[in-house]
Structure 1
Amino acid sequence: MLTGGIQTAVSLIYPPRCLACGDWVESDFGLCGPCWRDTPFVGGLCCDGCGLPMMGEDDGFAMACDDCLAHPRPWVQGRAALLYEGTARRLILGLKHGDRTDIVAPAAGWLAKATAVLAVDDPIIAPVPLHWSRYLRRRYNQSALLAQALAARLGRRCCPDLLLRSRRTPSLEGKSRAERQAILDGSIRVNPKHGPLIQNRSVVIVDDVMTSGATLAACTMACLAAGADVVRVAVLARVTRT
């Protein structure tokens, strides 16, 4: 009773606000009605490789989008909770560059609903890594925060430092698929102290945004080279045009 009373008092003093626009909402970590309608959640039939929405009805058969057919992925399955546009893009940029770590908890809930199918075989959940120099500047890895919150919701183990960036790479923004792959070649590896952890295990790699998939591919190849049995990917948002 005391805890409930304290929570009620706090909510009266600090009413919950919409994550996107700041308007009042009924519960913490939520979106108001208009912002919810303007947030492009992924639902229904989607590409089994990257989570991109597809036309038609979900009949239980795995489908692949044109991009995944043209550029086969090294991972076996992938899902996205949102499309990287509109309100979703603003929220993710706030999380990534604006210290909006309050977005992590609700985002993990959206991600858990979209990616529960990936956690069927008790995988290790791990984030796309940041180079230490970028981590020092940003002070946190948004993908690691998402991975930890997702693992907690799915009841799975998270290994935040499973993957390491052995060198700092330049921004991939505006680069072609081939350029992204060349930049990332050999830049990501499995942390030696965690190598035994993924031997013959499945791994789910978590990132905030998937564009071409080059970073996720580099992470996947590193896990497979270190002995992982199978790799899947979970991203908060999928870019629709690469």
Structure 2
Amino acid sequence: MPIRAAMDKHYMGVFSFLSAIGGPILGSFSARICKPILDSFSVGICKPILDYALPLRCPGCGTITAERDRFCLDCWGQLDFLGDPCCARCGLPFELEPDGPGSQCGPCASAPPPWQSARAALAYGEIARKVAIRLKYGRRTGMARLMAHYMVPHIRSIAESGDSPLLVPVPLHRWRLWNRGFNQSALIARHLGAATGLPADPFLLRRSRSTRPLRAMSPRAREREVRGAFAIDPSRRAALRGRTVILIDDVHTSGATARACTERLLDGGAAAVHLLCWARVLPGGTIDKHHGAPDFGMGNS
């Protein structure tokens, strides 16, 4: 849907650009003042035309669907949802039933990661990969809302366990933000905040230096590349102190970026950090189907 994508790209590019050059104040002003005007125009005039000319389609394969954010039956059957039973710390699924709630896998019990818990909506399979790529590289910013929709059940379980957590997206370096026009993790965090009522702060954590793409690196090389690459915004240290943080990202691979961000947040005064992402790369890249799909309050048929 190129017209929809172009509209989303244009609006988010404007807000991201203003935030990058003018900081959070100018970015917040543009979002509060300009966006309602643009939204009312697009909903009142453009949306009916777009819905007729460009019908809603499955995010995975493009088949026409009846409602927004719905997968077709074929793609729905290929989604590998992650949930219990899993390690309470890293979120990786157990092959056997655990002894009880709060059980941890062997690696986490012997060498606990810095985060309190890590959760993902889906295992990183073909459909989850397509959605992530269409958001990140295809500039289909509407995919962020879809991803947030399926992440909400996990975020609610985290929020119920303590005080109101703060949503913090994994940041992009300013030059990469300039080139892409938006931060995919920040878009997801914004939609999660709108769906749950939790506060989201896209400016609390920032990249203090640029890093090379991590895709082709080994896990050890990834850790070296991102070490010291993140910093806390000095003006937000007081707001971070003593807070529970949910770190938002699109895909969890080796955990190197998540570890570097978590350690920086804890050093900055966060009480605890939980990870939440759209998709998780599992050992072997697959997951058994018996974990099932969580209840999203709506069917997908």
| TM-based fold match above 0.5 | yes
Corresponding position of 1:45: 85
Correspondence 1:238 to 2:298: no
Provide the C-alpha distance between the structure 1 equivalents of 2:188 and 2:152, rounded to a whole number of angstroms: 10
Contact 1:50–1:80, Cα closer than 8 Å, also in 2: no
Letter in 2 for 1:62: G
Q: 1:58 to 1:108 in 2, by over 3 A?
A: farther
Q: Check the 8 A contact 1:45/1:53 in 2, yes or no.
A: yes
223, 230, 243: which is aligned to 1:181?
223
CA offset at residue 10 of structure 1?
A: 6.4
1:27 is displaced (CA, Å) by 0.5
CA contact (8 A) 1:44 1:57 kept: no
Q: Distance in 1 between matches of 2:119 and 2:127?
A: 19
User: CA 1:124–1:27 in structure 2 vs 1: closer, same or farther (change >3 Å)?
Assistant: same
Segments ≥4 residues shifted beyond 6 Å:
6-10
Aligned counterpart, 2:290: none
C-alpha distance in structure 1 between counterparts of 2:215 and 2:104, whole Å: 25
Q: Does 2:224 correspond to 1:191?
A: no
Equivalent residue pairs, number: 239
The 2-side partners of 1:204 and 1:172 are apart by 22
Whether the aligned pair in 2 keeps the contact of 1:131 and 1:166 (CA below 8 Å) is yes
Cα distance in structure 2, aligned partners of 1:156 and 1:60: 29
Q: What per-residue deviation string (whole Å, max 9, x for no partner) do you get for residues 54-85 of structure 1?
A: 22447751233455456531011111001111
Q: TM-score, normalised by structure 1?
A: 0.90
Q: Superposed, which structure 2 residues align to 1:85-164 within 5 Å?
A: 85-120=125-160, 121-164=163-206
Letter in 2 for 1:23: T
Closer, same or farther: CA 59–241 of 1 in aligned 2, 3 Å: closer
- Distance (Å, rounded) in 2 between the aligned partners of 1:199 and 1:149: 24
TM-score, length basis structure 2: 0.73
Further displaced range: 68-77 or 125-134: 68-77
Distance 1:181 1:22, change over 3 A: same
Q: Would you tell me which structure has more helix in proportion to its own residues?
A: 2
Q: Distance in 2 between matches of 1:27 and 1:59?
A: 41
Q: 1:110 to 1:201 in 2, by over 3 A?
A: same
Q: Structure 1, residues 94-116: CA drift from partner, whole Å, max 9, x if none?
A: 11111111111121010111332
Match of residue 104, structure 2, among 41, 61, 64: 64
Mapped to 2, the partners of 1:67 and 1:133 lie a distance apart of 37
**Gap change, CA 1:16 and 1:59, over 3 Å in 2:** farther
8 Å CA contact 1:128–1:206 kept in 2: the answer is yes
Alignment RMSD: 2.3
Moved more, 90-99 or 48-57: 48-57
Correspondence 1:29 to 2:64: no
Q: Which 5+ residue runs of structure 2 have no aligned equivalent?
A: 1-42, 285-301
Q: Percent identity?
A: 37
CA contact (8 A) 1:51 1:238 kept: no
Partner of 1:73: 113
